[in-house]
Amino acid sequence: MTEPSKKPLKDRIAAIAGKFAATRFVRAIMDAGYSVISFSIVGAFFLILTVLPQIINTPGFISFYTNTIGRFSNLFQSVYNATMGIIALVFSGTFAYSYTKIYHDEEKINLVPMNGLMMFLMGFFITVAELVWKNGRMEFVQVFSKTQMVAGGYEANTSGIYRIGAVGIFIGLVVAWLTVQIYRYTIKHNWQIKMPASVPSGVSNSFSALIPAFCVAIIIVAINAGFVLAGTDLFKILFIPFSFISDIADTWWGFLIIVFLIHFLWWFGIHGATIISSFYTPIVLANMSANVKGAHHFFAGDPTNAFISIGGSGAMLGVAIWLVIGAHSAQLKELGKVEIVPAIFNINEPLIFGLPIVYNIDLMIPFVCAPLASGIVAYLGISSHLVPKIIVQQPWPTPVGLGGFIATASWQGGVLAIVCAIVAFLVWYPFIKHYDNVLLKKEQTATN
């Protein structure tokens, strides 16, 4: 008997990645990532208004700014606090809502997404207050110094309440996941108060969530209390692995691994940017928030669309331009005409599936290596302080140069983005030129 043939390795990897991308957890995180885009853009706009003197640092402008727009800088800061300052609530809250809805739709159980969101907020705020075991009792932390202010357990600064900002996203996700699982378990086991059918649905839903809400509160309080008695709390414990992962992602090699994985998955036809970004979004948001306060992280905001994947995944803006002005094969010329405008706005699905990139061994090397090359240039430029750090998350379709300018609030960022795009094309050129010649010969053979 012959052994059953095994699927090719690429098909097995694609199947595994596809199943992973389809998991409920990943889908809910993707929804959460999309939810913060508008908030971060609004916050970024008002942040730019507060840092204009850093962008245009001529004495004349600084004097003008101080006497005009600068009078309202604290008001602009309040808008930033109302967006990026509560980003953990928005991100993790959307995750809780979406995760609950997915279970409701797919398991057909009586879970109310809004109840999942509200229970998450309750559970999350249990972890926000800083507690300490002192004099035989739980007490709120109180600190009043020049560098820190904690009143009634809540640490606050000019950016708002500390733990509900970007640094709270990771623990927010953990609490949201735990909340939804508790909610799901209690409803599946009928731990709920059921009202008569004549009772309005709003009233019925609120009572059905009563027992699950008690369970969420009791479990999170018990966990947090255990850590407080041990001299720490749940937030600090969960922040340890988050900080560790964040530190790795912020290194040159950690960042390049992320870039590699994004494009490696794309080669299998899987949207690598969506999957991988769903995991690093908490990191880049936290790092961007830290940069605003004086830190210097490279991996912050949206470095991929600002500097690395210019023209879309694979850093293919230069390729799209060359297809229009330099390609000789009819196939690539026509494809270039279709792609040139979308590529300006970092959209390149026509190239990924039209060249194609997917399963094309001839183009896999430049597709992976071009963004790695532009990533190295961007990392060196920002980590060496030649280019200011990223403090703004620009809209991902922002064209080349403008995206780098907005992200770093500097002209140097715009120049760096253009340099990165050129470097990426230099990697692409010999490969796309050869591919064009191959297609041209096939077309000539077909017409003869």
Question: Which of residues 187, 213, 244 is at a domain's end?
Answer: 244
The pLDDT score that the predictor gives to residue 87 is 87
147 CB neighbour count, 10 Å cutoff: 6
Do both 254 and 138 map to the same domain?
no
Q: In what order do the strands lie in the sheet with 149-151?
A: 143-144, 149-151, 154-157, 160-161
Cis check: omega of the bond before 8, within 30 degrees of 0: no
Is 90 contained in some domain? Answer: yes
Do both 101 and 28 map to the same domain?
yes
Q: Give the C-alpha separation, 25 to 434, whole Å.
A: 42
Is 3 contained in some domain? Answer: no
277 CB neighbour count, 10 Å cutoff: 20
Domain residues for 317? 250-447
DSSP-derived letter for residue 8 is: P
The pLDDT score that the predictor gives to residue 2 is 47
pTM recorded for the entire structure: 0.77
**Structural domains in the chain (count):** 2
Is 363 contained in some domain? Answer: yes
Is 263 contained in some domain? Answer: yes
Question: Which of residues 229, 244, 259 is at a domain's end?
Answer: 244
DSSP-derived letter for residue 400 is: T
Q: With 0-12 CB in 10 A as exposed, 13-18 as middle and 19+ as buried, what is 368?
A: buried
The pLDDT score that the predictor gives to residue 201 is 65
Do both 111 and 234 map to the same domain?
yes
Do both 67 and 175 map to the same domain?
yes
Do both 180 and 268 map to the same domain?
no
Q: Give the C-alpha separation, 328 to 336, whole Å.
A: 11
Do both 373 and 239 map to the same domain?
no
Q: Mean pLDDT for each 10-residue chunk of the chain (448 residues)?
A: 57 70 84 80 83 79 90 89 88 94 92 93 94 91 85 84 86 94 92 69 71 94 95 89 84 91 82 76 85 89 91 92 92 88 87 82 90 95 94 86 90 95 96 92 82
Do both 294 and 399 map to the same domain?
yes
Ramachandran region, residue 346 (left: φ > 0; alpha: ψ -120 to 50; beta: rest):
left
Do both 256 and 236 map to the same domain?
no
- Which residues, other chains included, contact 228 with Cβ-Cβ below 8 Å and sequence gap of 6+? 131, 132, 133, 138
Do both 226 and 286 map to the same domain?
no
Do both 265 and 142 map to the same domain?
no
Is 4 contained in some domain? Answer: no
Comparing CA positions, the residue from 139, 142, 120 lying closest to residue 131 is 139
Question: Which of residues 244, 275, 300 is at a domain's end?
Answer: 244
Do both 255 and 222 map to the same domain?
no
Is 118 contained in some domain? Answer: yes
Is 289 contained in some domain? Answer: yes
Is 2 contained in some domain? Answer: no
- Decide if 104 contacts 111 (C-beta within 8 A): yes
Do both 113 and 89 map to the same domain?
yes
